[in-house]
Structure 1
Amino acid sequence: MTKVDSIPPTPDGPPPVTHPRKPARRPPSGACDSHCHIYGPFSRFPLPDNRSFTPNEAPEIALRRLHDHLGFDRAVIVHSQGYGLDHRPLLDALATGRGRYRGVALLRPETSAEDIRRYDAAGVCGVRFSFMAHLGGKPDLDKVRGIIGRVEPLGWHVAIHVAGEGLVEMRDFIRSIRAPVVIDHMARPDISEGPDGPVMTTLRTLLDKGDIWVKLSGAERLSKGAAPFSDVAPIATRLLNHAPERVLWGSDWPHVNLHGPMPDDGDLVDFISGLGTREQLRRLFVDNPAEFFRFGALVPA
C-alpha cells in the first residue's frame, strides 16, 4: 500500500487566488473548463509520499465555487501526478458532479482492466501522458502504445503534455496515434519564437491531421509578464483562427508548479475571451468540449 503523509505537508508553491474577479465577458451557457485539477480534501484523500510535487489543498467544492463564480457549467478534471495512481479524488468528484464533470486518468501498464472499466463507467474519457522533466520525463513509448491500445476501444482520447522542441521530437509518434489526441497548453512553446517558429509550425501541421486538438490554456505559464498576457495573444490567436473547430480552453486551476504570483482566473478568462468572435468562443467554450469529451445532457446541480 502506498504510504501517505500523516500531517499536511508544506506546499511547493503558493495557493490559487482565493477571490478572483468576475470576467468582464461571461462565458456562454454550457461553457466548459477543459483542463483543471483537484487536490484533497487531504483529510479524506491524503497525498502519497511518492508524489512528484506537493500541491496546496484545492478540493472539488472549491473548484465548483470557482466555476460558479466565473460562469462555467462543465469541467474536465485531469488527474494529477500529485496523487500518483490514486484516483479516488477524481472518482469522488465525478460522482459528486452528476454529469457536470468528465475525467482524464493517469495509467501505467500495471493498471488493471477492472480499474480501467471502473474509471470509464465513472466518466473518465481520456488518458494523459507527460513528457515533462519535472513530472518524470519521457515515458517508454512502447509502454505508452500499450496503454493507448487498451483504452482506444473505449473511445478515450490521449492527452499529451510536452514542451517546446519536445513537440517537434514527438511529432511522428503523435501522428501515429489512432485515438483522438489533444496537446496540452499550446505545447508550451517559447513565445519569443512567435507564431511561425518551429514549434507552432509543427503544432499547426498536426492540427491539420483532423483528429488532433489543442488546449489554448497556460497563458500564465507561457507569458514573460503578467495579465493581460498580451505577449501570448499572437500564438493563441493564430491557433484559434487556424483550427477553430479543434481548440479547447482550460484554466489549469489551481496552477500548481508556478512559483511566481498566482494568476487571477478572471484575468485568464478575459484573456481568451478577448481573442475570438462570438462564434469562435461558443465553439471553444461549449461546442468543441461537448464533442471531444462526449458530454451528455447537462444535469442541473
Structure 2
Amino acid sequence: MPAGACDSHCHIFGPTHTFPFAPGRTFTPPEAPRERLRELHRLLGLERAVIVQSACHGTDHSALLDALEAGGGRCRGVAIIDSTTPPEEVRRLHEAGVRGARLHFTPHLGSAPSEEEIRSVVGLVRPYDWHIALHVQGDGIADHEELVRSIPLPVVVDHMARVDLRDGPESRAVSALRGLLQTGRVWVKISGADRLATAPPRMDDSAELARLLVTDAPERVVWGTDFPHPNTHGFMPDDGDLTDLLSEIASGSADLKRILVDNPTRCFDFDETGPAS
C-alpha cells in the first residue's frame, strides 16, 4: 500500500454497552468496535479511514465521534442527519472530522427521504461544504439521476451504485452512473465488489465495472473495504481478497496512489501533509 492509503468506506458497531444501537433500527449487526477496525487497517497497511455512520446507530453519532477522536487525524466521518438535526450539532460534527451526510434509498434501511427532507439536509451541511453520500441499488441511480444533478454539493455514490450486473455493462443504471461522473461533481466509491458480483467468490464482473469507472473519472474514484460488511447474506468476503482485487482494477502504482491517497485527500478534506503520527 502507498503511504497514506485510505479505506474510504468502513463502519463501526458498538460496543453496545457503551454505544447502544438505535431502538427503531431495521437490522442488528454483530459488534465491530473501532479497535477491530484499527487492527484490520494495520494488517492491510491502511493509514487513513472514512467511517460511515450506520443506520443501526441512527442519528446518535457517539460511536463515530469516539472513533474520530481516537483516530488522531487519521479518520474522517460521514453522518446521518435529518431535518430535526440542530445546526449546532452539524457544527460539532464538522469540528470532529465529519465531511459528509448519507442519504439512503435502499428499502432494507427504511423509507427514502422526501425531497423536502433532502433540501433540509443539504441546507444544514452546505455551509461546511460537505458531500452528500448516496446509497442506492438496482436502478436507483438512474431513478434519482435528476436529483443527483440538482444537489448543489459534491455527491459521492456508494458501492458503484450497487447496480445489478446481470443487466450487463450497458444497462440503464450503469449508463446513468457513468453520465453523472462526467458532470465533474460526482464521485464514486469502487467498494462493494462482493455485493455486485454475480458469481461470488469470483468478482471479475464487479472488478471490470470498477476499471471502467476508473477510466471514466480517474480523479473522482475512491475505494473502501465496507468492513464489516453489514447486511451481507450468503457470500462473506475476505478483506484481504478485496484489497488484492485492487491489483486488477488499478493499472499501476500511479493509479493506486490516486485511488487510495490523492483522491481521498481531496474528497474527504484530509491534511495533505500526511496522517498524524
TM-score over 0.5 (shorter chain): yes
Aligned residue for 1:298, secondary structure, equals coil
Q: Secondary structure at the match of 1:233?
A: helix
User: Please, what TM-score do these two structures have when normalized by structure 1?
Assistant: 0.89
Distance 1:184 1:190 in 2: 14
Q: In structure 1, what residue type is equivalent to 2:190?
A: L
2:133 corresponds in structure 1 to 159
Choose the corresponding residue for 1:279, options 250, 254, 274. Answer: 254
Residue 87 of structure 1: which of 61, 64, 73 is its match?
61
CA drift at 1:228: 4.1
Q: Which runs of 5+ in 2 are unaligned?
A: none
Letter in 2 for 1:284: I
SS in 1 for 2:144: helix
What is the 5 A alignment of 1:7-156?
27-156=1-130
2:274 aligned with 1:298, yes or no?
Answer: yes
Deviation for aligned residue 1:64 = 0.4
Establish whether residue 251 from structure 1 lines up as the match of residue 230 from structure 2.
no
Greater RCO, CA 8 A, separation 6+: 1
Contact 1:183-1:213 at 8 Å conserved across structures: yes
Q: Is the 8 A contact 2:82 2:120 kept in 1?
A: no
Alignment partner of 1:288 is 2:247: no
Residue-by-residue CA offset, 1:43-93 (whole Å, 9 max, x unaligned): 211223211210111011110000010010000000011111110000000
**SS state at 1:89 partner:** helix
Contact 2:4–2:48 at 8 Å: present in 1 too? yes
Uncovered stretches (5+) of structure 1, i.e. residues with no partner: 1-26
User: Are the aligned partners of 1:194 and 1:234 in contact in 2 as well (CA < 8 Å)?
Assistant: no
Identity percentage over the alignment? Answer: 49
Work out whether residues 159 and 191 of structure 2, in 8 Å CA contact, stay in contact via their aligned partners in 1: yes
* Cα deviation 1:247-298 (Å, max 9, x = unaligned): 0101110001012132100000111232212211111111000011000133
Q: Secondary structure at the match of 2:204?
A: coil
Distance in 2 (CA, whole Å) between partners of 1:250 and 1:233 is 13
CA contact (8 A) 2:47 2:275 kept: no
Task: Pick the structure with more helix per residue.
Answer: 2
Report the counterpart of residue 241 of structure 2 in structure 1: 267
What amino acid is aligned across from residue 65 of structure 2 in structure 1? L
User: Does structure 1 conserve the Cα–Cα contact (< 8 Å) formed by 2:4 and 2:261?
Assistant: yes
Q: Answer whether contact 2:99 2:131 (CA < 8 A) is retained.
A: yes
Whether the 8 Å CA contact 1:228–1:267 is kept in 2: the answer is no
Tell me if 1:217 matches 2:169.
no
- Superposed, 1:237-248 pairs within 5 Å as 237-248=211-222
Distance in 2 (CA, whole Å) between partners of 1:225 and 1:145 is 39
The CA RMSD measured in Å over matched residues stands at 1.1
Counterpart residue type for residue 204 of structure 1: R
Q: Distance in 2 between matches of 1:28 and 1:180?
A: 26
